[in-house]
Structure 1
């Protein structure tokens, strides 16, 4: 990732990679020294690579961190299945070790489950959370339905570039680890866990996303004690790649971060 410092990270016997970008020289307006970092968390089978566009836009004005979780990207595969709570603890442990203070957590797809757990574990350290394209829709709670929705999204709503990143990362992940984590993803009840989240949370989706559907995301926003919903028109599931500027604007505005500047009309807020 351009201009990001990559380091190996380890916590609890698990290993991953962290990519850190501090605000680009000359592009960051004056802001409070206590601005939280933005931490981007990928979904099942993938890595930081499909978050790189969003990372680079956010890093113009705020410290931005992407993490490859254990077993994903080039990180070693753990010898046991990891729960969403395990990933949440890993996220906090490696950020603590790196001296990162308050952290706005942004998770995509299954990464939304990891971020939700992390926010529940340490609400004092997470002033805002963003769940992008969260899973698993209550009407799609079978592997077959998930695969059909993924196929529809790839064929109709994604670009060749986003598909190439996602499916090449699936190959790197390999079927063994993918299917271990798929069982975790399918059994996780986002709609129940979000009821316990006092942290302000934004549910963010591409308006044509067939995986995180509009009705599903409205359910989550209503069930969260401090939830809001935003949609990016014309984008599918990998909204951070195809609607990068709008997603960065939504995150910055929601969390009160410096760097807001994308056209407000590019978002639908509810």
Structure 2
């Protein structure tokens, strides 16, 4: 079981976008820090076990993005490039040097976009359970895949995810869902000049194997790790295996 990790919390603004940063620093570590970015509707809470696992050896920072996790919802539209610009501003303000930037689900879109725009801020980009799989680029298909995944996740994970969905609210969720379905992550993966690691749970119905292989192959320097027995939220159900994959590929 992953032990409790102390995390300092603060808010940082990038223009009108307000972020929450939860940090577990290791001042003596010479390895790049890891920054974790959640997906649509949720917050740092479903990254907490991965955060704790990684924090045993690395400085780790988990972000809550504007409109999620109880943070204020921005005025106006925030598409993937605009959110990525905000994340880049936060990374620069952390002043920890280039980081291993890890995103889950829609978070994969945000971190790939940051990596493509600001390679100076990252050493590696990690896409866990990346969306949107070419087979699921509709609201109906995404909803169906999410429903299947819910049946495979633990009650504890589902409780975290759905309480965060309630905090997010339908209006902001649907606004971001529109951007998620329109964003072509495979094209932006091809623009990366930093290594891309794709991580997929072997039982993930949202990010299929063929799709994850395609993303790996679109990157100039891509790799793929499959987590045995993991579903879409493998970072919370299999945190040790996911952390090991990240640390092995992103030294």
Alignment length (residue pairs): 248
- The residue number in structure 1 matching 2:20 is 17
Kindly indicate whether residue 136 of structure 2 is the aligned counterpart of residue 140 of structure 1.
yes
- The residue number in structure 1 matching 2:32 is 36
TM-score where L is the length of structure 2: 0.96
- The residue number in structure 2 matching 1:76 is 72
TM-score where L is the length of structure 1: 0.89
Deviations 1:97-156 (A, max 9, x none): 23221111000000000000000111122111100000001111111010000000001x
Kindly indicate whether residue 42 of structure 2 is the aligned counterpart of residue 46 of structure 1.
yes
**What is the alpha-carbon distance in structure 1 between the residues aligned to residue 186 and residue 94 of structure 2?**
32
* Cα pair 2:29 2:58 within 8 Å, conserved: no
Per-residue deviation, 1:2? 4.4
Compared CA separation, residues 85 and 204, structure 1 to 2 (3 A): same
Per-residue deviation, 1:95? 2.2
Kindly indicate whether residue 219 of structure 2 is the aligned counterpart of residue 221 of structure 1.
no
Per-residue deviation, 1:196? 1.1
* Cα pair 1:221 1:227 within 8 Å, conserved: yes
**What is the alpha-carbon distance in structure 2 between the residues aligned to residue 103 and residue 81 of structure 1?**
28
- The residue number in structure 1 matching 2:163 is 168
Deviations 1:188-226 (A, max 9, x none): 011111111121011101001000001110111111111
**What is the alpha-carbon distance in structure 1 between the residues aligned to residue 166 and residue 5 of structure 2?**
23
- The residue number in structure 2 matching 1:152 is 148
Deviations 1:49-108 (A, max 9, x none): 000100011111110000001110021000112111112111121222232211110000
3-state SS, counterpart of residue 196 of structure 1:
coil
Please point out which of 195, 208, 211 is paired with 1:200.
195
**What is the alpha-carbon distance in structure 2 between the residues aligned to residue 197 and residue 98 of structure 1?**
22
**What is the alpha-carbon distance in structure 2 between the residues aligned to residue 74 and residue 151 of structure 1?**
24
> Could you list the runs of 4 or more consecutive aligned residues of structure 1 that deviate by over 3 angstroms after TM superposition?
none
In the alignment, structure 2 segments of 5+ residues that lack a partner are none
**What is the alpha-carbon distance in structure 2 between the residues aligned to residue 149 and residue 228 of structure 1?**
24
* Cα pair 1:202 1:227 within 8 Å, conserved: yes
